[in-house]
Chain A
Amino acid sequence: MFDVLTRILRTGICSEPLPRIETEQAANLQQRIWAVLGRALCIRQVDAGSCNGCELELHALNNPYYNLEGAGIKFVASPRHADLLLVTGPVSVNMEEALLRAYEAVPHPKLVVALGDCAACGGIFGESYATRGGVSRVLPVDRVVNGCPPAPPDILRAILEAAQGKRQALAAATAT
C-alpha cells in the first residue's frame, strides 16, 4: 500500500490543458455543458468494423495526460445513457444492425461523430459486399474526424465541438 501511495504521489498530476476550440475556451465550455446538462457529457462508442486503431487512441483519451473525464466527458456502457454516439470503422455489414439498434437507443437529440478515415468515407476499405463505406451511409452524422488513426487531441477537439452543438441544440429545444 505504501508503495502504491508513494508512486501516486511521485507521479503527481500530469494532465495537460484541453485544446482550444473554434469559438471558446474548452474549460469554459465544460462549465456550460454542466450548466445545461447538470452532468457530464456521456459518450457511447461503437466499433462498426474498425481495425482497432481508433479504439487505441480512444483509450489514450482516458489516460492521465488527456484526462477526458476531467473535462466532464465520459464513456458509458449503455447507449441509453449516452448523449453522443462515437462510431469507428467503415460500417461492416455484419455490424450494421447492431449500430442501428444502438442509435435507436440513444435519447434525442442524438449526436453522432464519425471517427477516423474509415468512418468518414470507408477509408481504404471503401464500399463493398462487406462494408457500407462510412457512417453517413447508415446514420445522420454531425461531425467527422479524419485521421488513420486520428490523434487524441483531434478527437478531443471534435468531441468538444460536438458538445457545443449539443448545448445549442438543447438551448433551441428549451426556447421552443
Chain B
Amino acid sequence: MAEFNATPDFSGAFANAGALPSNVPCRLIETSREQWLRVAEALRAAEGMLLALWGHDERDGGQGFLVYASYLTAQGLLVARLCLRNGDERFPSLARLFPCAVRMERALHDLLGVASDQDDERGWLRHFGWPREFFPLRGENRLQTSFPPTPEPYPFVSVEGEGVHEIAVGPIHAGIIEPGHFRFSVVGEKVLRLEERLGYTHKGAAKRFQTLSLAAGHRLAARLCGDSSVAYAWAYCAALEALSATVVPPRALWLRALALEHERLANHLGDLGALGNDAGFAVGLTQFSRLKEDLLRLNQAALGARYLFNFVQPGGVECDLDPKWATDLPRFYSHLDTELEQMRSIYDEHAGLQDRFRGAGVLSTATARRLGALGLAARASAIPLDLRVDYAIAPYDRMRTKIVTQDAGDVAARVVVRFQECLEAMRLCQRLLEQLPSGDIHSAPRVAPSGALATGIIEGWRGPVMVALQAGPSQSIRHCHVHDPSWQNWPLLEYAILGNIVPDFPLINKSFNLAYSGQDG
C-alpha cells in the first residue's frame, strides 16, 4: 500500500493509494498527522464526502491506536488510516472540514479513548452506564464487564433571551418509537434551536463483533438496525466476501437486490402512512399500513420471513425463490402500483395534507451539501447521490436505476421522493425477476487471511451503509465497524426544524425517519 511522504498534492489521492478489497472501487492510504488533514482538505475541495470515522486498538501488534476515515469520492471509497504511536491518544479533528465528524469523533473517544482536538468533549455513546476511564474497544477491557450507573450531568447548549424556554423530549417518546432525547429552545411555538442527544440504544456492537467468528458476524450486523437488516447484512457479507475472495453466484446477488428493494418499499410504505397520520390524515395510515402488511406477508411466503434478518448469508442467500413467484410477484407489484397511484393522487389533492407538507422542515441544498447529507434526505434536497448508480455493483450495474430527486428540500419533497422510489423499486424488482439468473444461491465462503481488511457498502433505504471488517486469527473478527447514514443525517434535522413550530416536529422528524439503534451501535 502507498505510503505518502513527499507528495503534497492529494487531489489524486485515490489513484495513488493502495487497493483495499471491497465490493466497490476502494483504496487505502496511510497518512501521517499532517497528511490526515491534507487528504481531508483535498477531498473537501474535490467535493468528496466523509462517510465514516472509526478506530481500533493495535497496540498488541506494536502499532498503537489506528484511526480510520472513509470518504466517498468520484472514483470510489477512499479509506485513510492514521497510526497513533508511542501512547499518543490525540488526532487532528476533521470537523472543521466535515461537520458530521463531530459526533463520530466523540463516539470514537467514548469507545477507544483517543480524542480529536475539537471543542466538544461531552460523551456521545457513553452516558453514565460505564466509567469515564473505561474504553471498551481497548484490548485489555472485556465485553462482559458490568458497572453500576453513576449519574452525571449533560450540559446542553442553552439559548438565552426574553421569553425563551426549553422543552425536553425523551428518551421515551409518546409513540412506539426508538429512544432519543430532543432539547428544543423555543419562543412561543417557534423553534430557535434543537439539540439532539442520542446513544440510548448503544449495545456495544463493535466490541461484540470481536467475540464472533467471521462466519457469524452477519447475524449481528442484521440486528443492529431492524428496518435495514438486508442492507446491513449485505454490507457485512460484501466485506467478508471481498476479504476472502469468495465469488457469490449471480442468482444470489439478484435475490439480495430483490430483498433490498422489498426492504426499501416496506419502509417507504410505512413512512408514507405515518406521515399522513402525523398531519392528521388517519386514512393514510390505515391504507399504507395495510399495503405494508401485504408486502410483509409476501416476504414471508416468497423469501421466508416478514423481516429478512437471516436472508443474506456469507456466500449467498438463505433460501431460493420458487419459480411461481416469477409471475406472482409481478402481479403484486402491478396491484401495488395502482394502489400507490391512487394514494398519491389523494395525498396530492388533499389541501390539509399539502398545507402541512409544503414548506415544512426545509433543508436547503447548500446546507445539505455542507453537512454531507446522504441518501434519501440528500436526494430530496436536489443532491443526486445514490450508490446504486454511483458505484453500481452487480446487479445494479445492469438495472439503469433512476435517481429520484426533488428540489424543495421540505417534507413534501421527501414525500414525493418516497412515492417515486416505491415505483422505481418495483420497476427494479420486475427487471430483477425478468433477468434472474439460474444456478446456485450459495457458494462456500473461502478462508480470509488473518489481519486482512476489507469494506462493504450498500445503498440501503436511508442511504449508504458501510462495513469495515478485519479478520483475526482462525477466522475470527479482529475488528468490525458498521456505519449508518443517520450519522450524517441526524444533524440535518437540527437545521431543518429551525423556524418551524414545535407541533410540526413529529412530521418533519418522520419525513427523515432516521435510525437510532443503527447510529448508536
Contacts and interface: CB of A to CB of B under 8 A. Distances in A.
Contacts of B293: 60, 63, 65
B171 A98 contact: yes
B441 interface: no
A52 B200 CA distance: 13
B483 interface: no
Given A63-B289, A65-B290, A124-B220, A52 B129 contact: no
Interface in A46-64: 46-60, 62-64
B283 A7 contact: yes
B292 to A, nearest CB: 7
Contacts of B183: none
Contacts of A132: 146
B464 interface: no
Given A8-B283, A56-B270, A94-B202, A14 B143 contact: no
Interface in B286-344: 286-287, 289-290, 292-293, 296, 306-307, 309, 342-343
Interface string A106-130: 0000000000000000011111111
Contacts of A65: 290, 293
B290 A64 contact: yes
B177 A55 contact: yes
Contacts of B70: none
A48 B225 CA distance: 14
B183 to A, nearest CB: 15
Given A8-B283, A56-B307, A94 B223 contact: no
A124 B218 CA distance: 11
Most buried by B among A62, A89, A130, A131: A130
Contacts of A14: 290
A25 to B, nearest CB: 24
Contacts of B201: 47, 49-51, 89, 92, 94-95
Nearest to A49: B201
B398 interface: no
B366 interface: no
A148 interface: yes
A129 to B, nearest CB: 5
B515 A52 contact: yes
Given A8-B283, A56-B270, A149-B226, A92 B203 contact: yes
Given A92-B201, A93-B129, A124-B219, A4 B307 contact: no
A52 B151 contact: no
| Interface of chain B, main secondary structure | loop
Nearest to B270: A59
A77 B226 contact: no
B145 interface: yes
B171 A95 contact: yes
Contacts of B520: 92
Contact of A7 (B151, B207, B270, B346): B346
Given A4-B283, A92-B200, A125-B204, A55 B226 contact: yes
Interface in B504-521: 515-518, 520
B130 A130 contact: yes
Given A94-B201, A95-B171, A130-B202, A51 B224 contact: yes
B437 to A, nearest CB: 30
Interface in B226-268: 226-227, 229
Contacts of B289: 59-60, 62-64
A148 B312 CA distance: 15
Nearest to B151: A97
Most buried by A among B345, B346, B516, B517: B517
B176 A55 contact: yes
A93 B227 CA distance: 23
A125 B520 CA distance: 13
Most buried by A among B136, B143, B223, B345: B223
B296 A60 contact: yes
Contact of A124 (B127, B200, B223, B290): B223
B182 interface: no
Given A11-B287, A93-B129, A96-B149, A149 B307 contact: yes
Contacts of A3: 342, 345-346, 349
29 contacts: A3-B342, A3-B345, A4-B346, A14-B290, A49-B201, A49-B203, A51-B226, A52-B225, A53-B229, A58-B176, A77-B174, A93-B127, A93-B129, A93-B130, A93-B149, A95-B200, A97-B149, A97-B151, A98-B171, A125-B223, A126-B208, A128-B203, A129-B129, A129-B134, A129-B143, A129-B146, A132-B146, A148-B223, A149-B226
Given A59-B176, A130-B203, 20 more contacts: A7-B343, A49-B203, A50-B201, A50-B226, A51-B226, A52-B227, A52-B518, A53-B227, A57-B306, A77-B175, A89-B201, A92-B200, A93-B127, A96-B149, A125-B204, A128-B143, A129-B144, A129-B145, A129-B204, A149-B307
Interface of A: 3-4, 7-8, 11, 14, 45-60, 62-65, 75, 77, 89-90, 92-98, 102, 123-132, 148-149, 151
